[in-house]
Structure 1
Amino acid sequence: MRRTKEHPEVNAGSMADIAFLLLIFFLVTAVIPKDQGIYRKLPKECPPGEDCNIPIPDRNILKIAINSKNEVMMDDKIVKVAEVKDIARTFIDNNGDGSCTYCNGSKIATLSDNPSKAIISLQSDRNANYNQFIEVQDELTKAYFELRKAYCDNVLKRPLDKLTKLELQEVKDAYPFILSEAETRTH
C-alpha cells in the first residue's frame, strides 16, 4: 500500500474575519484631513451688452500685494501680516463721504468713502508662498468679522450668533466683503 501524505489545512475563515475587523478599525479611527481653501462667492458674469469695466476712484481701493519674497505690501509700504487686519479695518470703516451712519471712521481723505464702496485688491506674485496668501486672506476675513460684530453689538444690539436671516443679510449689506484678485484700473 501506498502512503499518501496529508497536508494540514489552514482555516482561512477566521483570518478573513480578523482582516475585515482590522479594516473597519482603521477606517473608523483614521483622521481624514479637512479640505483647505477659502470659501468665497464668485461674482456673476457680466451680462452681454453691458460695460462691466466701471472706473473706481483710487481712494476706494486698498491695494495689497505679496511679492516673490513673501513680503506683504499695502499701498506701496511693506507691512507685517499681523498689521493687515487693522489697516483694512481702518480703510473699510473710514466713512470718507459721511454717508455711513454706523461707521466709526476718521473720514481720512485718502481712505474709502464708505464700506459699500471699499474694495480690497489682493495680488500675489506667482512665486509667493501659498500659505502667505492664505494668512493675508485670514487677516482680511478677521477685519470684516470684527466690523460686522461691532455692527451687531452697536446697531442691532444683538449677539452675532442670535441673528435672524434678515438681520444677517443686513450685517452683510452694511459691510460687504468686496475682494478683487484681478488687476484693478483706477481713474
Structure 2
Amino acid sequence: MARRNTPEINAGSMADIAFLLLIFFLVTTTMDVDTGISRKLPEKQDPNIVPPVLKEKNVFEVNVNRNDEILVEGDTYMKVSELRAAAIKFIDNGGGTAADLQKADLSPCTWCGGDKDPASSDHPKKAIISLQSDRGTSYAMYISVQNELVGAYTDLRNIYANKKFGKGFKDLSVAEQKIIKKDIYPQIISEAEPTK
C-alpha cells in the first residue's frame, strides 16, 4: 500500500488573522479607570470615648434636597456658584475669643481675613462643614457641591501660600503644603447619611 501524504494546513495567514483580532480587541475594548472623590475615612472610635461637644456656630450646615436646591445654615437657599464664597467666609472667620481658643489649645488666627464675627466659626481648625444630601439628589449636583466646598479650602490655602511664601500652594514643597493642610486650613468636611 502506498503511503498517503497528509495535506498541510496553510498556517501563514493564521498569524495575520490572530494579529488582526488582537488589534481589533485592543482598539474596541475600553479600559475602566476608577475615579472618585478622594476622602480619608475616620478611624474606628472607641465606644467608651465621649464625643466632643461642638458649638453650633462652628458647624456650617449644607443640605441638598431631591430638587437639587441647596439650603445653607437651615434658612438660606443658595446657588452652587455662591457656596464657595459662603464657605470661605465661614472657614476664614476667626471669630474665637481668647478664652475659647485657650481652652482648645489654639492660638488666635492672625492669618484669618474674615469678619471676626462672634456668631460664626472660632478658628479654621474648629470650622466643620456638614454636608447632607437627599437620596434623590442628582449626582451632578452632589459633585458640584463637593467641588465648591473643596474649592473653598483650595482658595484659602492658595491665598495663605501667596501671602506667606510668595507663591501658589501647588508650588510649595511637600513639607510646606503639609503644614498648611494640617495647621492652617485643615479640610474638615463631615458627610451625614443621606435622607430618604
Q: If the length of structure 2 is used for normalisation, what is the TM-score?
A: 0.79
Residues 12 and 45 of structure 1, relative CA distance in 2, 3 Å threshold: same
Look up the match of 2:114: 105
2:65: which partner in 1? Answer: 67
Distance in 1 between the 2:47 and 2:70 partners?
Answer: 37
* Cα deviation 1:99-154 (Å, max 9, x = unaligned): 10111001122221111000000001111112211110001111110000111111
Identity of counterpart residues, as a percentage?
46
Matched residue of 2:87: which SS?
A: helix
Q: Comparing 42-51 with 114-123, which one deviates more in the overlay?
A: 42-51
- Matched-pair contact (CA < 8 Å) for 1:65–1:74: yes
Q: Residues 19-74 of structure 1, C-alpha deviation per residue, up to 9 Å, x if partnerless? A: 433433552576535433210111111135322x2221011000000111111111
Looking at structure 1, the residues matched to 66 and 11 of structure 2 have their Cα atoms a distance apart, in angstroms, of 59
Q: Aligned partners of 1:146, 1:85: CA distance in 2, in Å?
A: 9
2:189 counterpart letter in structure 1: L
Q: 1:10 to 1:80 in 2, by over 3 A?
A: farther
* Structure 1 unaligned spans of 5+: 1-8
1:149 aligned to 2:158?
Answer: yes
Determine helix, strand or coil for the equivalent of 1:63.
Answer: strand
Moved over 3 A (4+): 9-13, 28-34
**Could you tell me how far apart the structure 1 residues matched to 2:63 and 2:12 are?**
63
Farther-moved stretch of structure 1 (154-163 vs 125-134): 154-163
Q: Provide the residue aligned with 2:5 in structure 1.
A: none
CA distance in 1, matches of 2:20, 2:31: 19
Specify every segment of 5 or more residues in structure 2 that has no aligned partner in the other structure, as ranges: 1-7, 98-107
What does residue 88 of structure 1 align with? 87
User: Displacement of 1:10 after TM fit?
Assistant: 8.2
Does the aligned pair in 2 maintain the 1:102–1:155 contact within 8 Å?
A: no
Residue identity in the other structure for 2:192 = A
Paired residue for 1:18?
A: 17
Aligned length: 175
Distance across 2 between alignment mates of 1:182 and 1:67: 13
Corresponding residue number in structure 2 for 1:181: 191
Higher mean alpha-carbon deviation, 137-146 vs 126-135, is at 126-135
1:78 and 1:13 map into 2 onto residues whose CA distance is 71
Aligned to 2:149: 140
Structure 1 residue 12, shift from structure 2 partner: 6.2
Given the two structures, how large is their TM-score scaled by the length of structure 1? Answer: 0.82
Partners of 1:126 and 1:29 in 2: how far apart?
35
Return the alpha-carbon distance in structure 1 between the equivalents of residues 178 and 128 of structure 2.
19
